[in-house]
């Protein structure tokens, strides 16, 4: 997993993502936004906005900044802006680097990004940097259970899944260890809980 590889592989994914795998993810995306419970007047940061699949699901009356590493994915997201109820801006940026001012956002959306970036913990830390104290951050992604060892078969499959742009061996517990946040909601999502949803509050 590297930024250089992700730019390449998501250039290939961009034309087909919405018509293929995103249909599978939509229920998880919708539930993540329900859990985040966005309120009118809030500022929302969407990290790894991709083709903008989350953007039409965000309610009106809020300001949204969506960032992504892939120009090709952002070009697809741009096409969705007329269908968005929220006021949305898009920016080309590395999710592992704090882009915004500290405490600039009321809520952060991290859908299917912590398993994609080279370092999930660094990405989570950067997202928390931009979140106000007491603010909410929601994660929807696939994780290896913290208390289970990674099987040789899963490690082998991960060699190929990483080539497609996602890591299936990451654990959420180590990612958030030592960061100024607490989990307020944890629930299973898709594939029998392989995908999970976490709601965090910044301390």
All domains in the chain, ordered by first residue: 3-202 (3.40.50.150)
Measure the CA–CA gap between 43 and 2, rounded to whole angstroms.
29
CA 33, distance to chain mean position in Å, is 12
Measure the CA–CA gap between 83 and 126, rounded to whole angstroms.
29
Q: Backbone dihedral region of 37: left (phi > 0), alpha (psi from -120 to 50 degrees) or beta?
A: left
Tokens of 165: 């742009």
Residues in the chain: 203
At 48 the pLDDT is: 97
Cβ atoms of residues 175 and 189 within 8 Å: no
Angle between helices 3-13 and 71-80 (to 10 degrees): 40
At 101 the pLDDT is: 80
At 75 the pLDDT is: 98
User: Which residues of the chain carry a pLDDT beneath 50?
Assistant: none
Buried/exposed code over 39-72 (b: 16+ C-beta within 10 A; e: otherwise): eeebbbbbbbbbbbbbbebbeeebebbbbbbbeb
At 98 the pLDDT is: 82
Beta bridge partners of 108: 45, 137
User: For the whole model, what pTM was predicted?
Assistant: 0.94
At 13 the pLDDT is: 95
Sequence-distant (≥ 6) Cβ neighbours of residue 68 within 8 angstroms: 48, 49, 50, 74, 77, 90, 92, 93, 95
Please give the DSSP secondary-structure letter assigned to residue 202: E
At 79 the pLDDT is: 97
């Amino acid at each position: 997993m590297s930024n250089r590889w992700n730019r390449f592989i998501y250039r290939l994914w961009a034309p087909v993502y919405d018509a293929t795998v995103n249909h599978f993810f939509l229920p998880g995306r919708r539930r993540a936004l329900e859990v985040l419970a966005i309120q009118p007047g809030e500022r929302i940061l969407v990290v790894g906005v991709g083709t903008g699949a989350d953007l039409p699901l965000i309610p009106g009356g809020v300001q949204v900044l969506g960032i992504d590493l892939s120009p090709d994915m952002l070009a697809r997201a741009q096409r969705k802006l007329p269908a968005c109820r929220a006021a949305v801006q898009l920016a080309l940026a590395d999710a592992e680097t704090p882009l915004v001012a500290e405490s600039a956002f009321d809520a952060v959306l991290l859908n299917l990004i912590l398993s994609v970036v080279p370092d999930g913990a660094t990405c989570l830390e950067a997202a928390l940097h931009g979140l106000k104290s007491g603010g909410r951050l929601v994660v929807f992604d696939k994780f290896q259970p913290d208390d289970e060892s990674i099987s040789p078969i899963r490690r082998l499959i991960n060699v190929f899944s990483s080539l497609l742009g996602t890591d299936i061996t990451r654990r959420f517990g180590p990612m958030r260890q030592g960061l100024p946040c607490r989990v307020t909601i944890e629930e299973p999502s898709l594939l029998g809980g392989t995908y999970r949803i976490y709601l965090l509050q910044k301390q």
